[in-house]
Amino acid sequence: MLDSKKHKRLMKKERFLLQFITLRWEKEVRGAPYAAVRNQMEKALSLPENLFSYDTDYGQPYHKVVMLHNKKGLETVQDQVVRLNPGADKWKLGCIEIDKKGSESEYDVTFTYSQECGKPARYDSKNHALTERAFGLTSNEYGRVLYNGRHLYSDTGEWYYELNILNMLLTKQSCSKIFIDHELVKEYKQIAILY
């Protein structure tokens, strides 16, 4: 438990807020009218209040949400705060790498294609797996990366699909609706047609 002095110090310190949302669906809900539900889904959610009380000396906390889309609608199956490695200069969430620049108030965000991203494969102009800088973030800049992919269940051979959304903001504010209320400044998309 934090004492009140340490808690006040943490609240004044600039924090890097991260929210990683994965939306997963199968072939039965791939087309209309189900696709319209996914397209209208909010790309940012409220953060859990306890995200703001974590001491980053023990790791960078982030909000992880996994949702399933089926014939009944959208169902949240995971909603928790997870920690990334403490003291690391670079983090990886899905196919997105976040690299701390020289100071704690500047980050580089890169999309790096791997099999983890799913099909179709993404390539650069030299036919190598795509590694592309999405954007840089500094204080009070809200950024979002979206990418999708088609995956294969190893046991059944059936396809399933994912949309991954990473919301990021470096701020001193501690409002649970910050990703909903704050204006998006930078966005990067790797959205492919999923057959």
Does residue 54 surpass a pLDDT of 60? yes
Give the Cα separation of 190 and 114 in Å (integer).
13
Residue 14: Cβ within 10 Å count: 12
State mean pLDDT over 142-170: 96
Q: Tokens standing for 91?
A: 């983090």
Q: Render pLDDT for 173-184 as a digit per residue (tens, 0 to 9).
A: 999 999 999 999
d(CA 174, CA 65): 19
- DSSP code for 67: E
pLDDT value of position 7: 47
Residue 7 CA to residue 16 CA, distance in Å, equals 16
What is the pLDDT averaged over residues 29-46? Answer: 94
Distances (CA, A) of 117 to 3, 30, 38, 52, 128: 42, 18, 19, 29, 15
Task: Return d(Cα 34, Cα 72) in angstroms, integer.
Answer: 10
Give 129's DSSP letter.
Answer: B
Give me the torsion for CA of 3, 12, 48, 99, rounded to 10°.
-120
pTM: 0.91
- Are the beta carbons of 160 and 68 closer than 8 angstroms? no
Comparing 56-60, 68-72, 159-163, which segment has the lowest mean pLDDT? 56-60
Q: What is the model's pLDDT at position 88?
A: 84
The answer to whether the peptide bond before residue 33 is cis (omega within 30 degrees of 0) is yes
User: Who wins on pLDDT, 85 or 11?
Assistant: 85
Identify the three-state secondary structure at position 135: strand
